[in-house]
Amino acid sequence: MWRVEVGDSVTDRNSVFISSIGYPVKTANESRSCISQMKQQSCFSGATHLMSSFISLDGSNDKDDDGEANGGSRIRGTLRRMKGKGFAVVVARWYGGENLGKIRFQHIENCIRSLMDKIGFKEGMDVSEVQWMKSGSGNQLGASQSTCCQTEVVPEKQSKKRIVEKKREEMAEAATKRMKQAADELIKKKDVVDLLDSE
């Protein structure tokens, strides 16, 4: 059985990042199964990228960028720097319409570090020392389950689902605004061309 926690979101220029961590994972197969189940969490619905990585207790490790160049590698690198073994991590990104460049890697790492801190993990700590009830809520997954429990980590004021919905609404509004501005610019250019043609 694994403990699964979901972190707080990080937003930059309409891109939203949210991480989830499963632990303890003992083998590569167990890690992949945990990641597969974490990716099905409702809070990740509609994500553009679901990057993942794991370092299991037996030392095996792997990563998946899911279209976000080097995203999975960054997750694995963060786990290695923190000396975290027995953890499977998924970081979701909803693309906000603007390339972020290298800062996206910092957002990925910050999501993971924040969540590791939330569960009580300190650099080099054995996964068995992590206090399962430190953050007060979360999901417990068993290898026989096909999907995650419906219970999710809920911040004090809002559910993760509502936060994601709100971010999507904001992203849609921003996209609509950009499209309207582009259309207005085209109309202005057409008016100028029509004016020049009439002279």
- The residue-averaged pLDDT of 124-140 equals 56
Mean per-residue pLDDT over the chain, rounded? 78
Report the CATH architecture of 2-171: 2-Layer Sandwich (3.30)
Please list, in sequence order, all residues whose beta carbon lies within 8 angstroms of the beta carbon of residue 144, skipping any fewer than 6 positions away. none
pLDDT of residue 80 exceeding 60: yes
Token readout for 39 is: 């990716």
pLDDT band at 159 (very low <50, low <70, confident <90, very high): low
For residue 194, the model assigns a pLDDT of 61
More confident residue, 18 or 174: 18
Q: Is the dihedral of CA 77, 79, 80, 86 positive or negative?
A: negative
- The residue-averaged pLDDT of 145-155 equals 32
For residue 157, the model assigns a pLDDT of 41
What is the C-alpha end-to-end distance of the chain, expressed in Å? 77
Please, is 58 exposed, middle or buried when counting C-beta atoms within 10 Å of its C-beta (0-12, 13-18, 19+)? middle
